[in-house]
Structures are given as structure tokens and as C-alpha cells.
Structure 1
Amino acid sequence: METIRKIMYNGTKCENDGGYMEGYGYFIIVAIVAVFFAVQSFRSRKAEKARLWKDICDGFGQVPDREYSYPEFERISHFHKFMMDKHPKTERVDDITWNDLDMDSVYLLCNNTYSSVGEEYLYHMLRTPKKENELKKFDKMTTWFEEHEEDAKQMQVKFSKLGRTKTISLYDFIHRLGDLKTKSNLPHYLSIITFFVSAGLLLTVPSIGILAFIAVIAFNVVSYYRSKGEIENYFICFRYLVSIIICSKGISESLDDEFKEYKNEIDEINDSLKSLKKGLFVLSDSIDGSIVEILMDYIRMLFHVDIIKFNSMLSKTMSHIMDVDKLYSLIGTIESAIAVASFRKCMTTKHGYVSRPMFDNTSIHISFDDMYHPLIDNAVCNSISERKGVLLTGSNASGKSTFLKSTAINVILARTIYTTLSRTMKMCEFRIFSSMALADDLENNESYYIVEIKALKRIVDAAAIDTPMICFVDEVLRGTNTVERIAASSEILNSISGKNVLCFAATHDIELTHILEKTYSNYHFEENVVNDDVQFNYKLNTGRATTRNAIKLLKVIGYKDEIIKKATDRAGRFVDTGSWC
């Protein structure tokens, strides 16, 4: 500090020298302060990198613990919606099926990603079934990352540099860039000129220069954020696109030579984007902790270089939009493969095994050994082998719905990420539909029954297409009376059980097990009553159910004995006489 005071004193003393020393003293102070904060920032970012590496190492093969706000999670689906709008005939897992199976939770279990590209593309993958040849190509990369875990973690560090765009999806805005009007860069060039003029005044006429310098800095910063605010969402996406282009080179270089096809495609796209890459460093938002990047943050605010670059690159970007789409998919595929490798390790650690499906479209069939539900700890495993539809009966809470969901989830995982949660799984390349966890649609003023018959109608329509399909229906037509439910549900289930369709349905109506026994195989779950307590083993058994437990559960919950006795007597009388009276 004594040195600084001397500099200040000498600068004041030498007014006959034009005030040069005084200005020099100000610059020394600014430089010292800047270096101090740069060092502190560097140390902080270095610690952040160490923490990131620890998180990556600790998190690989574990259940991801990232929490999302609703806007953040909702943003993840936007890329998938964009792709479905762009390719409407693409096979997909529809919204009803996705929600029936709580696939959002399954996605979060798989989502060990560190960038918006990866998490958005993984979501899209889980909703877009693929043919076996495409799945095997993806599995080759996934298996490599399983076997080279250290390389997978190092690659995750590179993806973390991309980061996430919070509530904004790149695809919300990148394809709308053409709608933006190109603005003149003249005001921004004037900001640069006035900065250097005021800096010159600071050196030559300090008493005036200091005020002018501060005023120009304030104006440049304010005008920077005002201009940037007008294009903020586009700017965030554009800068993220720039980060993808920059990071893709490092990702390509890190890929093993076994994946030359990916490397070559990424490199070719980078070559085609050369015109975009010039001066890209002014747009990057790196977190590498370098002093250069810290200084660039200030340079952007003072000189508006990123806005100037943004305005000059608008038209160029739109002319290369197909390359951008392809690069996004390539990078997303690579990070998704790492996430699936982590998911497989996680499931193997928790449940002991995972496997790869075997597809055979010569006849309609499905078989699996010791299949489990990914979201249930200590899940009970079940096996089945069927070429006919499956009709499940059993007591309340015995495991029917969970079995349906487990099977459906495994079919989706098999067809999207080439992974099954079973020892073996053989099946056709099924299309997948369900009608399970429905509810009244208050927004459209539709009752449960209307919602249900619409959901079933889409399954009936899909069954008419001549490609393999598997569907899952829980409590067919539960929203109506017994007589019409049995009559209608038996005909609906008969109509969708054909040469191209396997239907798994759960019901409490034992009558259906007799009506449909020629087209459906009967299976059931059962329970044991021990000391007035109903216990379940959740194991699948062949044949129709022979026990009921609804009244027993009333007793377990604590209903009065009088109610239990009268209900039991009434049920027994109906079984004996066929009459409720």
C-alpha cells in the first residue's frame, strides 16, 4: 500500500508532465485489483473442477440425485416434441403410455448426463423405439464405455463444460433464428470507439478522463445488457450451440478409434461449420477457470463483441441448420451411451444383473426370466413365456398392475436402449401401447369412462396395423357397470388379440377368464392370510385366481366386524345363488 501511495503522490506531483503519471497510477491500482480477483476466481474454479471430478466418479453407476424444477424438467421434452413434429410418422412411445408407466421416473434413473444435449437426447431415445441394427450400433458404444469406465468419466468432464440451459431448450429457438431481423452493429462499434477515446482522455487529461471513462463503461455495460435482453433466449441457445461446436472437437478426439464413423462425421460437420467457427471464442461461456476467459467476460460487456458476432452469424447459422441437427444428434448419442452404461452398472449393483434383448419377428411371442421393476427396491422377479394374450386375475394389491408395468417398461427399454432388467428376454420388435393409470379429464370435461374408452380406441386402431404390437390394459372398462363391462371388455379384448398383437390385461372379473380362455392364457397372483393379516408374495402363477381379499382388507384396515360379517354373507349368497337379494 505504501508503494501505491507513492505512485499516487508522484502522479499528482508531476502535473507539468501532462498528468501522465497520475493516469499511470490509476492503471496500476486497477491492474492490482484485477489480478487479485483473477487469482481468487481461478482458485475457486479449480476447486469447482475438483468437486466436479469427485461428483462424476462417485455418481457413475449410482442413482442420479439431480433435482429438477418443473420448468427445467419440462424443457427436456422439447427436443423430442420438435423431432416428432418434424418426423410425424416416426414410431414413438405416446403420452398415455409414457404417463401410465411413470416413465419420467425411469428416465431420471437413467439420466446420468451433464449437458442439455445429453439429457434431451436421452429423453428422446427412451421415447423412440429403434430397429435392432440401430440398437446394436448404440449398444457397441455403450458396452465400450461400460468396459472403459475411466474414459467414460473423462468424457463426462467434457460434457460438463457444455452444461445445461436451465429452462430454455436449444430447439425452442435455434430453428426460429430466421425469424429474427438482422440488426446493425453500428451502435456497438461506436461503443468501442468511445471506450478508447475516454481511455485516451484518462491518460492525457485525468481530471476529465476519469469521469468520461466511468461514464462510458457504465453506458457500455447498460447498453450491453439492454441489447442482449432483447435476444436473451436466442442468445443463450446460440451461445450453447457455439459451445457444442467447440466441445465437439475435443469429444471427437477422445473417442476410441473403434468409433471412426462417429469421429469422421463429427469432423466433417466441423469442417462444414468453419465459417461459423471464426471468432467463436468471443461467444463461448467456458467454466475452465482460465484468466483469459475471466477477462473475456469483461471484454464482452465493454465491447459487445459477442452481440456483434451474434448479429453477423444469424444468416450463416440458418444455412447450416442440417449440420447443426446432425451434430446435436451425434453428441447426444455419445453422452446417452455413457448414461446407459452408468444405468446398467447401477441396476446390476442393485439387482444383480441386466441383459440385452433378443429380437425375432418370425412369430408373435415374448419370454423373459427373472424380470424386475427398476423403481422398486428388492423387487420380486417373475418369468413368463407366451405366444397368446395374457389375462391376469388376483386379489387387490397382489401385484397385477406392477407386473404389467414391469413388462411394459422392459419392452420399452429393450426397444430404445437395448437393455432389459431380466436374465434373458426374447420378443418381437413390438410397438407399445397401454391403458392403465387414467383419470377424469376436467380440462376437457370428460369423465373417467370417456377417457378410458378413448384410450382403448387408440389401441384397437393401432392393432389394425400389420406390424407386431404389445399392449397393456389394467382393469378394462372399470368406469362402468358390471354387466356392460364384462360384455364390452370381452369383445374389445378379443378384437385386439390377433396374429400381430399380444395383449396383457388385468381384471377382477373372473367371468372374463372363462369367456376368453381360447384366446388368452390365464395367470394370477395370490395372497395368504396370517393372523388376520393379508400377505403377498407377488409371484406370478398359472391359471385363474380362486381367492378374493377385498373384504379381508376391510378387516385389516379396521372396519367394524358387523360390516365385515354382512359383506361376507352377502358375497357368499351371491356365489351360491347368483342373486344379491
Structure 2
Amino acid sequence: MEYVIGVFAVLLILFIKILYDARNTEKQNLYMLKKGWGNVPQQEYTDEKFQSLKYYYLCNRRENLDVDDITWNDVDMDSIFMLLNNTKSSIGEEYLYSILHHLEYSKEELEKREELIQLFQKNEVVREKLQASFLQMGKLHNISFYQYVSAMKDIVTKKTYRHHILAACLIGCLGWIFVAALSGFTLAPAIIGTIAFVCINIVQYYKRKAEIEKYFTVLSYILRLLYSVKKIVKLGLPELKKYETELQKNMKAFQKFQSQARFLFSGKNMTGSLADVILDYEKMLFHTDLIKFDNMVLEVKNKQNELNQLFEIIGLLDSMLAVASFRALVKEHYCSPVLKKGSRPEISIDGMYHPMISEPVANSISEKQCVLITGSNASGKSTFIKTIAINAILAQTIHTCLCEKYEASYFKVYSSMALQDNLLGKESYYIVEIKSLKRIMDQLTEEIPTLCFVDEVLRGTNTLERIAASSQILKGFSRGNVICFAATHDIELTYILEKYYSNYHFQEQIKDNEILFDYTLYKGRAVSRNAIKLLEIMGYEKEIIEQATKEANTFLEKGVWNAI
């Protein structure tokens, strides 16, 4: 009898400890949510992590409508994503990564996102309750939830009788100990048998678990997803009624899945609490999760549509929470864009800045035709056109621009900027560049205007052919349904294309043998150069500087180069 009382006492203590851990976890989570809101998200990223983030987008990619890989890399949208990614779930961050690629061309979807963003900005209670639910779901480590759910149809299942036998043997040995203790028999054989089956069960558990580990992780995550959905529905928030209705409808399809999964996963969060630890040991010893694995996989296979619906809704809510947090991060330095459909493309931006620069200089521009931007090295040309591209993408994805005003057409956004030689493909820089420009030309249509960005067009070839070819390519862009921003050092292009392109420039001042940039955009073509001056500042010989200056001036006067 004393043994029984002792067991009940231990169970009572464990129960109290579990309740305490749960309450303490809730307090810690709320503190983390408040602290993280409106701050730069702290998360580590690896190549493997980014590969896992891509899968959902790649499965839903639209040819010639989304932000393609070249443009994404040119403007370093991975960094923008990391700045935005204050999501709390794997589903949320996969969805956010996708929508940043997925340009919208009508107002309905963007208005829906704006409505959610404003709700989360204004209603702290709503957002914290939602974030707490998503935080309990957590994030998978370098695994695409969407990818592994989609791949479950290919899983080869195995018979579970072996796990039933091992679990039964261990239970029998434990029962043997209990009976022997009550009856006064020797405990040694029962203890030896128990230890033996504990070892066997643990080894067999991890052997099978290794084969299905990632899928098992995803099944566990589905259970956490369903638990979070249940909590969200119970909140009964009037502002989210239409989403709660859809969540509840799709959640009902997983009642059988939930009943099979109950108590199998350390399941509702990933806190490492005492309850989680106890459940982990229970699974290792009795294989309860392995026994149910095949049936649960079958349920997921049969409920792909409902699971996709849950993914879409949770992804939307979590990603828009992240956007609302991003707006809090940039404070008042953002606006909601005004997007238009019309016969002629146009763009007008006031007070625009780059989000990755700590002390940015704001610039403005308003144009209905293509633009050439000239200026010295490091004066701000490339950063300026990247900033426009980033704002255009954010306008048509998260309905948030980093400027005082953004009014523009709905655009397809393309760039050809940060290109590299393709050594594996045995392609020179010039070949890579002309292919990149050709891809922009090939997707031009009259239905949707294109906003394109070119940095140092055809820099990979000789001066004569570069100017001849680039002038015709840029002229070709100007004739289409396009606004092209091209940064160049070739002043000749500003004269050749004067009828088709507006001219803007960046400039610098030289003071105390130092070049100073104000990073401000000015109208007109550049009239200054600094390449030779930079040689002087870097300590090149005086003769080199003088001769270079002389040769440059001679060319400007006569239009030909002298032999040295």
C-alpha cells in the first residue's frame, strides 16, 4: 500500500509541476512577444534554411509575373525578408517568403492584407493572442513544412506488429515488478527483464525514427498547427470572424488525426517542459508514436486540400503580423502605396530611402518615361535604383513602402544589375549580361507595364560596341510599355538617348583631398568625374595622375585617343 501512496504522491507533484511550467511558459512567451514587437527579428539563417523557405513559393510560382531569381538577388531581397521576418511559425515565414516574390496586380488582395495589417497595428490584444498561438507552433529547423507535407504521398509504410510486441513485453516486465513487490517475491529477474526491454525498445525506436524523422517532425507540427487553430477559433475575435470560420471548417476534417495523435507528440509547443520530457520517454519506451505513424500519414494524404487551406490562412495571418511589426520598426517612415491601372506607366516617389542603410538620404522622383542616371563612382547610382526596385516590390506585396508617398502603375519588376560570370556554364560576363537583358525584353507585354533596372549596361564588352549596342537596347525599352531606370558611366548615352530618357545624376565635392558625396539626386546629366582623382587620393605616382588627366582632356577636345 505504501508503494501505491508513493506513486500517487509522485504523480501529484508531477502534475503540479506541469501546470506551473505551462503558466510560466505563457508569461515568458508574452514577455518575448512584447519585447520583439517593432524590433529587428533575431534569427540565424543558413543556405539550408533559405532552401527550405523556397519550396512553397516554387510550387506556386507564376512565370513572368513574379520577382524572378535575378531580380531578387540583384536587390538583395533576402536581407529585406530577414528584416521583415518577425513571424512566429514555419508556415508564416514560408508564406511571407512567397508573397515577397508574388507581385499582386489588383487591389482586392492588397486591400485584404492592409486591413489585417492595420488591425494588428491598432489592436495589441488581438495581435498578442494570435502571436502566442503561432509561437506555440514554433519553427521547424531547416525543414520546409509545405515540402514534407506534399511528399507524404510517397512514404512507404511498414507493419507495426513488432512495436506492439516490444511495448507489450516492457509493460509485462513492469507489471511483473509491481506484482513481485506486492507479493514479496524476488525482484531481480523482473528488473533484469525490464532493463533489457528498455534498452531494446530504445534502440529499435531510434532505428525506425531515423528513417522517418523529418516526416515525423512534420506530423508533430501538424498537431501543433491544429492545436493553435483550435485556440484561435476559441478566441472568438469579431475582427477575424471570416478567417475563424474557414479555420474551423477545415480543422473538422482532422478530428480522426487528432484522436490518433493525442498524447503522442510533445505536442503543443516546443518548450522542453517536464511534460514534454515525460512524453518523450514514454514514446521511446512504448513506441506509441511509431504505432500510430502510418494511420496518421494516411489521414494527411487524404486531407491535403484542407491542410493547404489551413496553411494559407495561418500563413496570411502570421505574415501580416510580421508586416505590422515591420511598420512599428520603421515608425512613421513608411506609407501605403497608391497603385493605378492606366494606359501609360508612371511612377512618383517622395522621400524614398533604403531600409538597410543606417542613415539613409531620402530622394524623390516622378516620371512617365525612362530614366538615365549618371554620376561618379560610389556616388549612389546603384543604391538609388535598387531602392526604387525594393519599394516597387514591397508596394505590390506587403502594401508598404519606405517613403513619404508612392504612386505608381501596377508593374512587373525586373533588373539586370549584380551579374557574375557563369564559370560552370562556360559563359563570360558579357554572355550572362545579354541573356539577362534579353529575358526582360522577352516578357514585355501591353497588358502589364514593366519597371526595369539596369546597372552599367553591357559593361562586359569594349567601349565602342558597348555604346552602340546599349543605346539601341535602351531605346528598345523606351518604345515598350516600360519605365527603365539605367545607371551608367557612359555620358555619351545621355546625348544619344536624349529624346527617350530623362537625365538625372549624382555628384560629389572634393575637399581637403577627400571626395564627399551627398547622395542626393539632381536633374540633368553628370558633369564631374572622380576616377583619376581617386587614384591621386590613393597615392598613385604624380606622373600617372598628370598624364591620365592630360589624355582625358585631349579626348574630350578631339574625340580620339593619342598613342602613348
Range class of TM-score, shorter chain: over 0.9
Could you tell me how far apart the structure 1 residues matched to 2:42 and 2:15 are?
A: 32
Equivalent position SS for 1:342: helix
CA pair 72-28 structure 1, distance change in 2 beyond 3 A:
farther
AA aligned opposite 1:412: I
- Single out whichever of 69-78 and 413-422 deviates more from structure 2: 69-78
CA 1:254–1:516 in 2, change beyond 3 Å: closer, same or farther? farther
Distance 1:230 1:541 in 2: 62
Report the Cα offset of residue 91 of structure 1.
2.6
Give the aligned partner of residue 327 of structure 2: 344
Identity %: 41
The residue aligned with 2:226 is 245
1:428-577 aligned within 5 A: 428-464=409-445, 466-577=447-558
Q: 1:161 deviation in Å?
A: 1.0
CA RMSD of superposed structures (Å)? 2.2
> Shift in Å at residue 39 of structure 1?
7.1
Residue aligning to 1:216: 197
1:188, distance to aligned residue in structure 2 (A) = 1.8
CA distance in 2, matches of 1:555, 1:259: 64
Distance in 2, matches of 1:527 and 1:33, equals: 76
Q: How does 1:112-511 map to 2 (within 5 A)?
A: 112-130=86-104, 131-205=106-180, 206-254=187-235, 256-284=237-265, 285-287=267-269, 292-348=275-331, 352-362=332-342, 363-464=344-445, 466-511=447-492
After superposition, what is the alpha-carbon deviation per residue over 1:1-53, rounded to whole angstroms, capped at 9, x for unaligned? Answer: xxxxxxxxxxxxxxxxxxxx8xx75x888887887788778767765554443
Counterparts in 2 of 1:537 and 1:487: CA distance versus 1, 3 Å: same
Q: CA deviation at 1:576?
A: 0.8
Deviates more, 1:102-111 or 1:176-185: 176-185
Give deviations 1:521-557, integer Å, cap 9, x for gaps: 1111111111221111111111111111111122222
Label 1:561 to 1:283 Cα distance change in 2 as closer, same or farther (>3 A): farther
Question: Hey, what does 2:50 align to over in structure 1?
Answer: 73
**Are residues 73 and 33 of structure 1, via their aligned partners in 2, closer, same or farther at CA, if it must alter by over 3 Å?**
farther
Q: Distance in 2 between matches of 1:379 and 1:208?
A: 76
Q: 1:36 to 1:567 in 2, by over 3 A?
A: farther
Alignment partners' CA distance in 1, 2:518 and 2:233: 50
**In the alignment, what sits opposite 1:10?**
none
Contact residue 118 and residue 335 of structure 1 kept, 8 A? yes
Match of 2:183 in 1: none
CA displacement 1:197-251 (0-9 Å, x = unmatched): 1122212342321111222222222211112111111111122122212211212
Q: Which amino acid aligns with 2:311?
A: Y
Q: Is the 8 A contact 1:367 1:385 kept in 2?
A: yes
Which aligned segments of 4 or more residues in structure 1 are displaced greater than 6 angstroms? 27-45
Kept after mapping to 1: 8 A contact 2:514/2:537: yes
Corresponding position of 2:184: none
String of CA shifts for 1:327-382, please: whole Å, max 9, x gaps. Answer: 1111011000110000011112xxx4210111111121000110111111121011
Moved more, 447-456 or 267-276: 267-276
For 1:482, the aligned partner's letter is T
- Within 1, Cα distance between the matches of 2:538 and 2:123? 52
Q: Which segment is superposed worse, 100-109 or 268-277?
A: 268-277
User: 1:73: Cα distance to partner?
Assistant: 3.2
- Give the Cα separation in 2 of the matches to 1:559 and 1:463: 47
Change (3 A) 1:322 1:487: same
Q: Secondary structure at the match of 1:566?
A: helix
Q: Determine the C-alpha separation between the residues in 2 that align with 1:107 and 1:465.
A: 31
CA distance in 2, matches of 1:393, 1:35: 76
Change in Cα spacing, 1:172 to 1:414, as seen in structure 2 (3 Å) is: same
Which amino acid is the alignment partner of residue 364 of structure 2? S
Q: Secondary structure in 1 aligned to 2:373?
A: strand
Report how far residue 465 of structure 1 moved.
Answer: 5.5
SS of 1:528's equivalent in the other structure is strand
Give me the TM-score of the superposition, normalised by structure 1. 0.90
Q: Cα distance 1:100–1:289, how it changes in 2: closer, same or farther (>3 A)?
A: closer
Q: Tell whether the 8 Å contact from 1:42 to 1:291 is kept in structure 2 after alignment.
A: no
How far is 1:505 from its partner?
Answer: 0.5
Change (3 A) 1:279 1:90: farther
In 2, Cα distance between equivalents of 1:480 and 1:562: 29
Moved more, 171-180 or 396-405: 171-180
Bigger drift between 454-463 and 548-557 goes to 548-557
Secondary structure of 2:397 counterpart:
helix
Shift of 1:493: 0.8
Q: CA deviation at 1:273?
A: 2.3
C-alpha contact (below 8 Å) 2:505/2:526 kept by paired residues: yes
State the distance in 1 between where 2:399 and 2:377 align: 33
Instruction: Note the C-alpha offset of 1:159.
Output: 1.1
- The letter for the 1-side match of 2:341 is N
Which residue in 1 is equivalent to 2:80? 106
- Residues 1:29 and 1:450: Cα distance change in structure 2 (over 3 Å): farther
Number of residue-to-residue matches in the alignment: 552
Q: Take 2:13 and 2:537, find their aligned partners in 1: how far apart are those partners?
A: 70
1:15 equivalent in structure 2: none
- Aligned to 1:441, the other structure's residue is in SS state coil
3-state DSSP of counterpart to 1:434: strand
Quote the offset at 1:564 in angstroms: 1.3
- Measure the CA separation in 1 of the matches of 2:372 and 2:380: 13
> Letter of the aligned partner of 2:287 in structure 1?
H
Opposite residue 543 of structure 1, the aligned amino acid is G
Going from structure 1 to structure 2, the CA distance change for 1:564 and 1:320 (only over 3 Å counts) comes to same
Is the CA contact (8 Å cut-off) linking 1:371 and 1:381 kept in structure 2? Answer: yes
Task: Letter of the 2:197 partner, please give it.
Answer: V
**Partner letter of residue 123 of structure 2?**
H
State the Cα deviation string for residues 76-134 of structure 1 (Å, max 9, x = none). 222212333xxx44831110000000110010000111211111111111111123210
The verdict on how the C-alpha distance between 1:445 and 1:289 changes in structure 2, with shifts beyond 3 A counting, is closer
| 1:63 equivalent in alignment to 2:43 | no
Q: 1:62 Cα shift?
A: 1.0
Q: Return closer, same or farther for 1:45/1:274 CA change in 2, 3 Å cut-off.
A: closer
Note the residue ranges of structure 1 that are not aligned, 5 or more in a row.
Answer: 1-20
How far the C-alpha of 1:433 sits from its partner, in A, is 0.3
Matches of 2:377 and 2:109, distance apart in 1: 41
Q: More displaced, 218-227 or 246-255? A: 246-255
The code of the aligned residue for 1:357 comes to: P
The alignment partner of 2:262 has SS state of helix
Tell me if structure 2 keeps the 8 A contact 1:101–1:409. yes
More moved, 412-421 vs 464-473: 464-473
- CA 1:90/1:226 → structure 2, altered by over 3 Å: closer, same or farther? farther
